[in-house]
Amino acid sequence: DTEVTQTPKHLVMGMTNKKSLKCEQHMGHRAMYWYKQKAKKPPELMFVYSYEKLSINESVPSRFSPECPNSSLLNLHLHALQPEDSALYLCASSTRDGTYEQYFGPGTRLTVT
Amino acid sequence: AQSVAQPEDQVNVAEGNPLTVKCTYSVSGNPYLFWYVQYPNRGLQFLLKYITGDNLVKGSYGFEAEFNKSQTSFHLKKPSALVSDSALYFCAVSPMNRDDKIIFGKGTRLHILP
């Protein structure tokens, strides 16, 4: 299984809502990532979990809260978002064994109204 | 500071012709270099990488890339383009001591004309 899955595919939420994005991989990868991607732009790194511990937070606003319940699962909890947070949110994973490439999920298209 | 430059926003190539998508990098130490492709409304797909060894790297879907240390370049190439190659291509670099961090170029949109 070489797949990273993300749910939901699409999400529309109001600025006062609380929602969560979910990411799952069963490749035994020990690093998992959240990226934000605006249209026609490269992905911007948000968070990295390495061996289930948060290792990188790229100064992301606290309205985004990551969680890694186990080595296969990654969540991104959303609260009080702004319209400018509308974007494609990508999850990725990698091995941390020296092969370095990341495997990406299809993303969640988030619209904040 | 580490950086990746893709000088072309868009590249147009006729089907069947060879294609090149350019990438230059700036990183201290030996770089780890990658190419990813993104089709509309999809996540990124890994194409190929250079870590060490042979400067010519072969990847998925007939793509290859040549690592040139003196020119700090890692151009993506394919001998014969297909219409299905039309997509957004990202070059990326990972600093040698940070295999958990990838810096992406701005992307190059490749249009293959039938």
- Whose CA is closest to B104, among A75, A7, A92, A27? A92
- pLDDT at residue A81, as a whole number: 94
In Å, how far is B81's CA from the nearest CA of chain A? Answer: 22
Mutation site for A-interface testing, chosen from B6, B30, B38, B99 by largest number of A Cβ within 10 Å: B99
- pLDDT at residue B99, as a whole number: 67
Q: How many CB atoms lie within 10 A of CB A9?
A: 10
| Chain B neighbors of A42, CB-CB under 8 A | 90, 104-107
Is the per-residue pLDDT at A104 higher than 80? yes
Mean pLDDT of all residues in A82-96: 93
- Can you give the three-state secondary structure of chain B, one letter per residue? CCEEECCCCEEEEECCCCEEECCEEECCCCCEEEEEEECCCCCEEEEEEECCCCCEEECHHHCEEEEECCCCEEEEEECCCCHHHCEEEEEEEECCCCCCCCEECCCEEEEEEC
- Averaged confidence pLDDT in chain B: 92
Mean pLDDT of all residues in B20-25: 97
Mutation site for A-interface testing, chosen from B23, B39, B44, B50 by largest number of A Cβ within 10 Å: B44
- pLDDT at residue A5, as a whole number: 96
Q: Which three-class secondary structure state does DSSP give residue A83?
A: helix
Residue with the two structure tokens 């296969």: A72
How does pLDDT run across A40-73, given as a tens digit for each residue? 899 999 999 999 999 999 999 999 999 999 999 9
Q: Does residue A27 belong to the interface with chain B, where contact is any CB pair within 8 Å?
A: no
Measured in whole angstroms, the distance separating CA A12 from the mean position of its chain's CA atoms is: 16
- pLDDT at residue A1, as a whole number: 56
Instruction: Return the number of CB contacts < 8 Å for A and B.
Output: 59
Of B43, B94, B104, Cβ closest to residue A107: B43
Longest distance between any two alpha carbons in chain B, whole Å: 43
Residue with the two structure tokens 């069947």: B16
- pLDDT at residue B2, as a whole number: 82
How does pLDDT run across B63-76, given as a tens digit for each residue? 999 999 999 999 99
How does pLDDT run across B81-99, given as a tens digit for each residue? 999 999 999 999 987 667 6
Is the per-residue pLDDT at A97 higher than 80? no
- Averaged confidence pLDDT in chain A: 93
- pLDDT at residue A99, as a whole number: 66
Q: Residue A89: exposed, middle, or buried by beta-carbon count in 10 A (0-12, 13-18, 19+)? A: buried
Is the per-residue pLDDT at A2 higher than 70? no
Supply A41's token pair. 């732009």
Which one has a higher pLDDT value, A5 or B41? Answer: A5
Contact criterion met (CB below 8 Å) for B89 and B108: yes
Mean pLDDT of all residues in B2-15: 95
